[in-house]
Amino acid sequence: MASLKQQSSIALGMLVVALVISVLLYWSRPSAELAAPEYSPVSVDAALVIRENLRIPVEAQGTVAPLRATSIQAEVSGRIVETAETFLVGGFVAAGDVILRIDPRDYKTRLLRAQAALKSAASSLVQEQGRAEVALREWKKLPPGSQRSQAASDLYLRKPQLEQAEAQLLAAEADLNTARDNLERSIIRAPYDALIRDKHSELGQFVGPGTPLAQIFSVDQAEVRLPIPQSTINYLDLPKGVEQYQGGPDVELYTEIGGKTSRWTAQAHRTEGVFDERSRVMYLVVRIEDPYGLAHTGLHPGAEPLRMGSFVNARIQGREIQNLVALPRYILRAGNLLWVIDKDNILRNRQVEMLRTGGDQIYVTAGLDEGDLVCLTLMDPSFTGAAVAVQSTTSTDQLIQAKAVSE
């Protein structure tokens, strides 16, 4: 019993000591001080607006096609007795090169016969001319009062026979020309510098007039049809009507080959002059010189040959448009809104007007003044009216130059 009372006394004493310590700690606490919350402005990058006269490049895509493509057919019949070493699909042939030969023996024989017939006709004409001269001398000896009709006079002077001999000579010359042409047609030559796209004949095959022999296409020039929408056609300096360009704008073609971007230089040549009824585009035709690099004139250093059938992107140099501001497209928000930093470094929404273009740049025509600061940092719409700290400022013209260098 005594032990229980002793334990209760100890517990009560400890409780009193704890209460005293708590009271002492409460009265000795430091006084609380209220402080205003600190706000750190958001760090952003900005672009200084400078209005410029710019040429807006128009982007398009198209397929490379040869300027000329020809289906070569036989003009005479016979067996193919010789083919060129390059008479292969993908083989190159220069203008005038012999592609194949058709057996010429029959045509050589016909040529000899035509030459013989020409000599015979020439001899007959000479004989008739001699007879006509003799007849003329005898005619002059006849009495002046003799009855002479025109028909009798012509017959006596052998004019019909002379005309017949002259006609036979002309026919013999025509036959000789035909025989010579047929002999020449037995040799099939390339009409221009070309690559063989497909071949339909082979050594030893018998062919006749109209038999397809091969399909070729030119390699000196190529063309690309580029669709230009109505919305961007005013950005280009197009010829009026159906006239061709006189020194048209430069066009850069590029595509990725094996993980590497290859580029080629082309030039606008003409428009097709009509809008497509379905797509509402007008095709601009650009021309590339020496696409395969055979003359080393049309390729950038180290570029791949521009093969026919390649699908390429095109950047067409536009006409000059005044008072534009070029900015990266990623900063544009819904409703054509941009963040503009005012003189107090406060973010403000600004609605702008711009040209309708593709690509990764926008071209503002109204809504920005010279010297405005446009925020280049992506910000949430809730930051409207927020204070910002500009870390770096780049003029809009320098942005364009930097983009051009990177490309």
User: How does pLDDT run across 22-33, given as a tens digit for each residue?
Assistant: 777 777 767 666
Q: Can you give the pLDDT at residue 296?
A: 54
In a shared domain, residues 78 and 214: yes
Picking from 336, 340, 403, 404, the residue whose alpha carbon sits closest to that of residue 371 is: 340
SS3 235: helix
Distance of CA 137 to the CA centre of its chain: 78
Alpha carbon separation from 377 to 40, 94, 345 (Å, rounded): 16, 58, 14
In a shared domain, residues 211 and 237: no
Alpha carbons 69 and 217: distance in angstroms, whole number? 4
In a shared domain, residues 240 and 335: no
In a shared domain, residues 237 and 306: yes
CB atoms within 10 A of CB 255: 18
Write the DSSP symbol of residue 138.
H
Residue 247 forms part of a structural domain: yes
SS3 186: coil
In a shared domain, residues 350 and 364: yes
Alpha carbons 249 and 226: distance in angstroms, whole number? 14
Q: Can you give the pLDDT at residue 298?
A: 45
Write the DSSP symbol of residue 181.
H
In a shared domain, residues 119 and 249: no
The type of residue at 374 is V
Residue 34 forms part of a structural domain: no
Q: At which residue do the structure tokens 């990266």 appear? A: 328
SS3 152: helix
Residues facing residue 142 across a β-bridge? none
The type of residue at 286 is V
Residues 6+ apart with CB under 8 A from 106: 78
Distance of CA 130 to the CA centre of its chain: 70
Residues of the chain under the 50 pLDDT cut = 297-300, 405
| Strands in 258-310 per DSSP E | 260-275, 281-289
Write the DSSP symbol of residue 244.
P
Picking from 95, 46, 86, 40, the residue whose alpha carbon sits closest to that of residue 396 is: 46
Q: State the residue range of the domain holding 138.
A: 107-185
Sheet with strand 320-328: strands edge to edge = 52-55, 320-328, 361-366, 353-354
Q: Can you give the pLDDT at residue 12?
A: 75
Alpha carbons 87 and 91: distance in angstroms, whole number? 6
From 300, 317, 334, the end of a domain falls on 317
Residue 134 forms part of a structural domain: yes
pLDDT in tens, 299-314: 445 568 889 999 999 9
Domain count, the chain: 4
Query: Both tokens of residue 353?
Result: 């007007």
Alpha carbons 291 and 360: distance in angstroms, whole number? 29
Residue 11 forms part of a structural domain: no
Query: How many Cα neighbours within 13 Å face the side chain of 89?
Result: 5
The type of residue at 178 is T
Q: Can you give the pLDDT at residue 231?
A: 82
Backbone angles phi, psi at 5, to 5 degrees: -65, -35
| Strands in 56-186 per DSSP E | 58-66, 69-73, 78-83, 92-93, 98-102
Backbone angles phi, psi at 74, to 5 degrees: -75, 140
Q: What's the CATH code of the domain at 365?
A: 2.40.420.20
Residues facing residue 101 across a β-bridge? 82, 187
In a shared domain, residues 140 and 178: yes
In a shared domain, residues 99 and 141: no
